[in-house]
Amino acid sequence: MSYEQHMSRRELENTVSQLLEYEGWSRRSPEPFHLHFCNLQPEGGTTGSC
């Protein structure tokens, strides 16, 4: 994500955890919400955490 350089490691891990939790809830929902992850960098901390 484009703002991850402004986050501590703990904040980044919490953000990834929350996004993954939401994605799981949405996937199981009868009316899932379409979630698009934008600006993920291959060398960034978010892709390694997923």
Say how far apart CA 40 and CA 43 lie, in whole Å. 9
Reading the block at residue 40, the tokens are 């993920």
Q: What pTM, to 2 d.p., does this model score?
A: 0.63
10 within 8 A of 50, measured Cβ to Cβ: no
Percent of the chain residues topping a pLDDT of 70? 82
Mean pLDDT of 37-49: 68
What is the model's pLDDT at position 5? 82
- Residue 15's CB is within 10 A of a number of other CB atoms, namely 17
20 within 8 A of 47, measured Cβ to Cβ: no
Say how far apart CA 25 and CA 33 lie, in whole Å. 10
Percent of the chain residues topping a pLDDT of 90? 38
Predicted confidence (pLDDT) at residue 31 exceeds the cutoff of 60: yes
